[in-house]
A and B are shown apart, each in its own frame.
Chain A
Amino acid sequence: MNIHRALAITRRIFRGLRHDRRTVALMFLAPIVAMCVFGLAFSGDVEDVNVVVVNLDNATVPVSQIIISNLDKEVLKVTFAPDVDEGVRRVKEGDAYAVIIFPERFTESLLMKRSDPSYEGDTTIQVREDRSNVNVANAITKSVTDAILLTAKQAGQDLPMKVDAEDAIYGKGAKFMDFFVPGIMAFVVFMLTTLLTLISFVGERTAGNLERLQSTPLRESELVVGYAIAFSIIGMLQTVVLLVIGVAAFDIMIVGNIVLAFAVIALLAIVSLSLGILLSSLAKREAQAIQFFPLIVLPTFLLAGIFWPVEAIPQWLRPLSYLIPPSYAVDATRSVMLRGWGIGEIWVDILALCGFAAAFLTVAILSLKRGRR
């Protein structure tokens, strides 16, 4: 291994980038756009959902009215309908996601039941939802339940027990973005590094550059190390950009040692570029290489724990998550940034990434040597 030759390759990549503004833009704008778009769209909060309230309660001081006023106005946009048929019609026509029905004599029945639990009057608030969108429907149910609890509390009818989740051990006050940024960091670095090395190595092979390189004293291992140095630097720069924007625009939480997070991302970049080189040996042209793209992106997107935890993936699919390198990087960066964990806690992730890196690098180098058959 001659490090000077490896560094010559590294320098050539950066020299090339100086003249390739489009690729540089892809490298740095794509992560930013991805973070902002996903971050804002997937913020986890359902807002401005149209619901119809049918209030048949005819009391002079109706409790139903208090419950309605306690509905979270950020989540629900409330309109009223005179009767159940009209309310149901609006849901059926897609104008609203649910009709919330307060039965006749709701307040009266409620008051009677307080003194006589065996009283038979109807105190059920019926929420008839359009459950074709489960997220929205769940948000409506939760909102109504919360409003009831709040109303009961205001009336001094607090439940004698309660749950307090305020004093968190890790991630106190964490928002969706805090959870999301470490994930998108790993995803972006994995995706772009794999894609860019894949395309650039297919280019090396088809344009005859690889052959010319192989006719010089450069070894395959030096070529790969040269790429590894360049792309881990690029990966870390992408991470810096994402973190700066994450902190500036989304005020994300970083409790741990950020240098450790960088190291994890650099390691992931090395895994990714070896994967890119490997895949390049399977493609004869750049157009073929592009076909691998969904193969890389989709499983990662769905299974690596970027948007939802691995625990939310069906049990039988979980082993697949453990076969996807970014899963470990997502877990490690998240643990470092949100839990403040150190190397002592994330060593399993690091070990797994090192294992992937060693295996992929070896196979990548072999795949390059195989061309000499």
Chain B
Amino acid sequence: MQTFAVEMKGLTKKFGSFTALDRLSLGIEMGTVHGLLGPNGAGKTTAIKILCGLLRASGGEGFVLGKRVPDRSILQEIGYMPQETALYLDLTAHGNLTLYGELFGLSKSRIAEREKDLLDFVALQKWKDSLVSNLSGGMKHRLSLACSMIHEPRLLFLDEPTVGVDPELRASFWEYFDLLKRKGVTIVLTTHYMDEAQHCDRIALLRQGQLLAEGTPVDVVKSAGATNLEEAFLALANRGEARP
């Protein structure tokens, strides 16, 4: 019985002499929302890219839905939202969603159903036929999220899904993530916002490619002897610095 949706065992990634990911070991349980936290260059995006098969690990192993990555057979079941907009500006919102629906082999009617649901969720219904190049940054971001969910993936990798999204909509995002979670969807996301991390079931604090701490947000704060996540991160980072 597989319990982990994602498992990393000593996952390492080097770009030349730079180590982006340093023996990262982490298990992410099915049906949870797991946050990868850390400053720029902590290795959050690199980890996600390896798990999605976009990069090859230099060492260690990664497992997604029980398969050792890279494995094409998991692609149908995962959704990936890159940090960049990654949308076709010369297509409408509808055009972008249709493309990804078709690539995942959805029928026309299914694409139409999903498109309606998702555009309602990201509040872009009335922009359906607008060119993406005419949408605002936040709108693009929401559409990008919708594109990564068109095929109802069991596992979602979201790289900074809430950047540039206004607070109201951000709150609704978290409600939606909760809803997905109740349906059994696993969500792995990265974020800069420490306050947002409170919504995650578990978090992993990363720094310079290494795991600083892992656990529920409350546990992580407690173990660092801090009062909030921000403090916890700074405390843990300093401890890491003091290590020989």
* Chain A residues engaging chain B, CB cutoff 8 angstroms: 2, 4-5, 8-9, 11-12, 15-17, 19-20, 207-209, 211-218, 371-373
Contact = CB atoms under 8 A, between A and B. Distances in A.
Contact of B88 (A8, A16, A371, A372): A16
B95 A15 contact: yes
B86 interface: yes
A212 B83 CA distance: 10
A76 B76 CA distance: 74
A12 B91 contact: yes
Nearest to B75: A217
Contacts of A2: 105
Contacts, number: 84
B243 interface: no
Nearest to B55: A372
Q: Tell me what chain B mostly uses at the interface: helix, strand, loop, or mixed.
A: loop
B105 A217 contact: yes
Contacts of B92: 19
A217 B100 CA distance: 10
A12 B131 CA distance: 13
B91 A19 contact: yes
Interface residues of B, number: 35
B75 A211 contact: no
B84 interface: yes
Nearest to A213: B103
B59 interface: no
Contacts of A16: 88, 90-91, 95
A218 to B, nearest CB: 5
Contact of B91 (A4, A15, A215): A15
Interface string B69-94: 01010011011101111111111100
Contact of B100 (A4, A207, A216): A216
The 7 closest A-B pairs by CB, nearest first: A208-B84, A208-B86, A8-B102, A215-B80, A16-B90, A208-B82, A212-B86
A217 B49 CA distance: 15
Nearest to A217: B75
Most buried by B among A2, A17, A20, A215: A215
Contact of B53 (A17, A213, A372): A372
